[in-house]
């Protein structure tokens, strides 16, 4: 296959997934609504103290983003698996790893990117200083693609299971811990006036590793699920 044909084929898959996402407006809005709901529950649980909310604000943003991202993971490959489109994609001349990362990109564009753009609103609600807002956006821009890549591996392994949501959570949550620690650490450092570029570089390194190796793992997990 030529490079032009490869780019055209992957572009068609990306446009198809985005079109399907925007047709199902309810599924498109669910992660954002869930993000706001989870974040709004924390003040009810810990109290309305501004000092406490300011301390936990960075962690709340990241935990809410992580859970909202997981909400949409189970449907990443399931609809294609159920209607047979996934098998057709596997039989196509397109490399399965590139097909998988294209679908992950579509998932991030409709889930991770909107969450990143609205996260500063949550930060302001929790009283985080303006110095922390660039750290929030930057860490989510680097961290949420990693969440989608790692989650896609679990989604590929559980796509053939009827109730794979719980198993998907058990598989992916431990792998999210480094991203969560780096993201919240950068926000806390920025909020207290300390340098946070080191956290960002570590996140960039993790994302580079994820982009390199995760597509291969996603493709292998899909082959195992479909062939099994």
Could you tell me the two tokens for 165? 């949501």
The per-residue pLDDT for range 174-183, each reduced to its tens digit, is 889 999 999 9
- The CA distance from 59 to 140, in Å, is 12
Looking at the chain, the whole-number percentage of residues with pLDDT higher than 70 is 97
Least confident residue range of 80-89, 118-127, 128-137, 193-202: 80-89
Q: Is the dihedral of CA 144, 149, 152, 157 positive or negative?
A: negative
Q: What pLDDT shows up at residue 164?
A: 65
Looking at the chain, the whole-number percentage of residues with pLDDT higher than 90 is 38
pLDDT of 204 above 80: yes
- Of 175, 173, 197, the C-alpha closest to 186 is 197
- Of 111, 106, 132, the C-alpha closest to 120 is 132
Q: What pLDDT shows up at residue 81?
A: 83
The per-residue pLDDT for range 27-82, each reduced to its tens digit, is 778 888 999 998 888 888 887 788 888 888 889 999 999 999 888 887 788 888 88
Mean residue pLDDT across the chain = 87
Could you tell me the two tokens for 61? 């943003």
Q: How far is CA 24 from CA 30, 71, 85, 104, 222, in A?
A: 10, 15, 18, 18, 24
pLDDT of 186 above 70: yes
Q: What pLDDT shows up at residue 202?
A: 95
What predicted TM-score, i.e. pTM, was given to this entire model? 0.90
Question: 């899909």: which residue's tokens?
Answer: 222
- Of 212, 215, 185, the C-alpha closest to 200 is 185
> In the chain, what are the domain boundaries?
3-227
């Amino acid at each position: 296959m030529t490079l032009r044909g490869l780019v055209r084929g992957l572009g068609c898959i990306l446009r198809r997934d985005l079109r399907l996402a925007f047709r199902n407006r309810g599924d498109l809005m669910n992660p954002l609504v869930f993000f706001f709901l989870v974040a709004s529950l924390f003040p009810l649980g810990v109290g309305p103290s501004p000092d406490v909310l300011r301390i936990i604000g960075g962690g709340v943003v990241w935990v809410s983003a992580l859970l909202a991202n997981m909400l949409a993971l189970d449907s990443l490959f399931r609809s294609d698996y159920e209607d047979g489109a996934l098998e057709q994609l596997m039989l196509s001349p397109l490399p399965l790893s590139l097909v998988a990362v294209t679908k992950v990109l579509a998932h991030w564009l409709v889930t991770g990117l909107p969450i990143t753009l609205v996260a500063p609103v949550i930060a302001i609600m929790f009283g985080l200083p303006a110095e922390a807002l660039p750290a929030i956006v930057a860490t989510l821009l680097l961290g949420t693609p990693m969440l989608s890549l790692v989650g896609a591996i679990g989604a590929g392994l559980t796509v053939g299971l009827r109730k794979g949501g719980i198993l998907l959570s058990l598989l992916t949550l431990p792998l999210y811990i480094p991203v969560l620690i780096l993201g919240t650490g950068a926000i806390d450092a920025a909020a207290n006036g300390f340098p946070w570029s080191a956290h960002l570089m570590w996140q960039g390194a993790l994302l580079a590793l994820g982009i390199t190796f995760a597509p291969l793992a996603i493709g292998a997990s899909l082959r195992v699920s479909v062939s099994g």
